[in-house]
Chain A
Amino acid sequence: MDSVELARFLTAMTLAVHIIFATIGVGVPLMFAIAEFLGIKKNDPHYITLAKRWSKGYTITVAVGVVTGTIIGLQLSLLWPTFMQMGGHVIALPLFMETFAFFFEAIFLSIYLYTWDRFKSKWTHFLISIPVIIGGSFSAFFITAVNSFMNTPAGFEMSKGKMINVEPWVAMFNDSFFVRSFHVVATAFMTMAFVLAAIAAFKLMKNKFKKDAEYHKKALKLTMILGIVFTLGSMLAGDLSAKFLHQEQPEKLAAYEWHFDTESNANLVLFGTLDEETQEVSGAIKLPSILSFLADNNVNTEVKGLNDFPEELHPPMIVHYYFDLMVSMGVFCLIISAAFILTLCFKKLRRFTYSKPMLYGALLTGPAAMLAIEFGWFLTEQGRQPWIVRGYLKVADAATQAGGITLVTVLFGILYLILIVTSSYVLLRMFKNKPAYKEFEEHSSERGDA
């Protein structure tokens, strides 16, 4: 591989690892805050224990999130120096603010984790979770602003290959900022709800400590309800994204859907394979006019096809598979959580709530949601190819020319492998032989003394 390929590969690898931990980082604080809120409100030690255990596991993931985040922050300059020289002064503001948000989160997270028993009022400790949630979500917002800038650059003029007359706020609140950050945050909440649901379902299936069943049932119920709420939010965000792409980045939408000829009543293509030479799609399910409808809520809308764009500006056709996978994972999560909620709503169905198939389904939602995040990012990043800053700078011209990139790539590959394996190992060991009932018995007896 040449240095451009290697730089792309290394960036992809770093982001693929970071996004797992970043999603956990954005999502979990909301979950433990809600659990703590319910625990105090209902005076129920189960929920307090949930909050404690979730936040305890969170310490491990947050550490890996911090280090991989630091890596990607520096790699931007190390691997794409030309990009940072050209665009660094346009996107500095959101980058800077992201760091502040992260700072804010780090401070209050530390306080939250180590002050469970230090305040007189229980609500004081709960209140500390709010800056943690704000910090986490805002850092996601700001960093998405940087990424949106690369998709829909704004807030500068070009002169002799340089970006001048910078307007920082215009660059930050560029066209795709709102729709993307909404999608990022909603899917992070959704994913974490399902990951935690999957853990509860797994524990219920194994049922090693019978006394814990009630605790895990509460966890499952809570996460499933949150899961369906955030899934609906994510789907709304996804729909807005499709409409946005239709307006602003039609070549990306066309590549997602293997849509070659501009036409109205455009088909939505599900799955299938493509012959790139003949542009023939075989084995796909074609939903007539749905793509037009998705793009503009009107079946007659004309959707631009790829053939309207010069061939060297086509994104790779593989993005269609990512799109299919992302959407089907999302729909799967919706079906399972909806089924679960239905069984809660109707008395007759209640015996299915914790039945084997339902638990299996719930178990699968966690990995499915996380995979959807990965596919979604592969989709949007590769969908921007060949540009690094759409319309202004190509990936091939931005990569570093420094020697030693092969060595560095191998080094980081080994590092990520070690970090992932070790953190999973620590997390599993942390909860394996420490049943929840012991924790909440301790917790209840403490309250009894007080």
Chain B
Amino acid sequence: MVFAYIGIAVLWIFLFCYIIVASIDFGAGFFTLHAKITKQDKKINHLIARYLNPVWEVTNVFFVFFFVGMVGFFPDSAKYFGTVLLVPASIALVLLSIRGGFYAFENYGPDTKLPWLAMYGLAGLFIPAALATTLTISEGGYITGSNNNLDLNWFELLLSPYSWSVVFLAIISVLYISSGFLTYYASKANDKPAYSLLRYWFLFWGPPMIAISLFVFLSLRIQNETHFYTAVFDYWWMFVLSFICFAGAMLLTLMKKWHGIAFILVILQMGFAFFGYGVSKLPYILYPYIRIDEHVVNSSMAIALIIAFILGLLLLIPSLILLLRLFVFDKEYVKGKK
């Protein structure tokens, strides 16, 4: 039992890390494209490239870590998600490959090409949409058949207001988180033109994101009533805290102050919402097929995984700190002097 909770906590934390770093990454790709088309690229592209070049690959590993851990801790999820997600996950994979491949061709290659930039910029926006489908499906109601003949009910999925509101929320959150981080990065670099453009975007995407979150809540009530009531009655305070953090981040950005703290508030805002969503969903991973307590891996493997995990973290955390110190917290590098 306890392994199930450790397992899901580890996975949820990694998924959260992925959501934050990947959002920065995907949003930045879109901003680069947008700036290029509106001829503002001289303002911000160098700044974005300076951040993204060293970190995009690490971002990808968070994702791999999540799904490998998922299969490791909850092997039955491979069967259900694997079968049902064949098409949506394959589309997400193709998009991820276009994104990663063309990002590298464009940024490490000898010169830039607009079509390549367009490919990775747009792919970056569609990936969150494709991946969000997984979360939608996990609420139940989109799977037909039983045991050996599982399949996805496309018709139901494409007509569902819940699935569409999740997709839009995913896309807007990406732009919101990304512009939030880049505003901070630009302010650190003392890069005035980039800063004002990114700050404008951040303020622009904030309000619609909150609006659509409310819509997600309302449609969740139709999709999975139990989940909705747990979220609203047992964990309402997490969503309130999330909103307070949002208001704080907006306010600080409006006042052009403390952008580091504003971005921490953005992370907290997302964190409260994401963990609130996650914890209210328990004990189901895939409603109603997979429960964390019934489908957790055997205890000897769980212990081995946890040991491997702790040893791995001992190695990773210092390395990640080194990476951040060299490319995010190093003022000279951020300003482009190194």
Chain A residues at the B interface, C-beta cutoff of 8 Å: 56, 59-60, 62-64, 66-71, 73-82, 84-85, 88-90, 92-93, 95-100, 102-104, 106-111, 113-115, 117-118, 131, 164-169, 400-405, 407-408, 411-412, 415, 419, 422-423, 426, 429-430, 434
Contact = CB atoms under 8 A, between A and B. Distances in A.
A103 B323 CA distance: 12
B101 A92 contact: no
B248 interface: no
B105 A422 contact: yes
A78 B308 contact: no
Nearest to A402: B86
Interface of B: 53-55, 57-58, 60-61, 63-65, 67-69, 71-73, 75-76, 78-87, 89-91, 93-94, 96-98, 100-105, 108-110, 148-152, 297-298, 300-301, 304-305, 308-309, 312, 315-316, 319-320, 322-323, 326-327, 333, 338
A113 B105 contact: no
B60 A70 contact: yes
Contacts of A99: 61, 64-65, 68-69
B308 A96 contact: yes
B75 A92 contact: yes
B116 to A, nearest CB: 8
A142 B275 CA distance: 32
A423 B116 CA distance: 12
Which 9 residue pairs of A and B lie closest in terms of their CB atoms, listed nearest first? A63-B104, A92-B72, A84-B78, A81-B82, A77-B82, A88-B75, A85-B79, A168-B304, A100-B312
5 contacts: A100-B308, A107-B319, A164-B298, A169-B304, A423-B105
Contacts of A63: 57, 100-101, 103-105, 108
B53 to A, nearest CB: 7
A275 B152 CA distance: 46
Contact of B83 (A70, A98, A401): A401
B71 A77 contact: yes
A85 B308 contact: no
B195 to A, nearest CB: 23
A99 B298 CA distance: 21
Q: Taking chain B's interface residues, is the majority helix, strand, or loop, or is none over half, making it mixed?
A: helix
Contacts of B97: 67-68, 70-71, 415, 419
Q: Taking chain A's interface residues, is the majority helix, strand, or loop, or is none over half, making it mixed?
A: helix
A66 B60 contact: yes
A102 B61 contact: yes
B64 A89 contact: no
Contacts of B305: 92-93, 96, 168
Contact of A113 (B54, B83, B87): B54
B326 A118 contact: yes
A85 B65 CA distance: 18
A78 to B, nearest CB: 5
A421 to B, nearest CB: 11
With a 10 A CB-CB cut-off, give which of A78, A109, A404, A434 has the most chain B CB atoms: A78
A314 B151 CA distance: 33
Given A92-B75, A97-B308, A118 B338 contact: yes
A411 B322 CA distance: 39
A392 to B, nearest CB: 15
B105 to A, nearest CB: 5
B109 A60 contact: yes
Contacts of B102: 422
Contacts of B68: 73, 92, 95-96, 98-99
Contact of B101 (A64, A117, A401): A64
Contacts of A76: 71, 78
A149 to B, nearest CB: 13
Contacts of B297: 89, 92
Contacts of A103: 58, 61, 65, 312, 316
Given A88-B75, A110-B53, A401-B149, 5 more contacts: A77-B82, A97-B312, A107-B319, A111-B323, A415-B97
A113 B148 CA distance: 48
B72 A88 contact: yes
B69 A96 contact: yes
Given A59-B104, A59-B108, A114-B54, A96 B83 contact: no
With a 10 A CB-CB cut-off, give which of A62, A74, A113 has the most chain B CB atoms: A74
Given A70-B96, A117-B338, A402 B323 contact: no
Contact of B57 (A106, A403, A423): A106
A412 B72 CA distance: 26
A412 B105 contact: no
Given A95-B68, A106-B57, A74 B93 contact: yes
A410 to B, nearest CB: 11
A268 B246 CA distance: 73
Contacts of A164: 298
Nearest to B111: A429
Contacts of B323: 107, 110-111
A102 B64 contact: yes
Contact of A426 (B83, B91, B105, B151): B105
A166 B301 contact: yes
Contacts of A402: 83-84, 86-87, 150-152
B78 A88 contact: yes
Contacts of A131: 319
A422 B101 contact: yes
Contact of A408 (B86, B150, B309, B326): B86
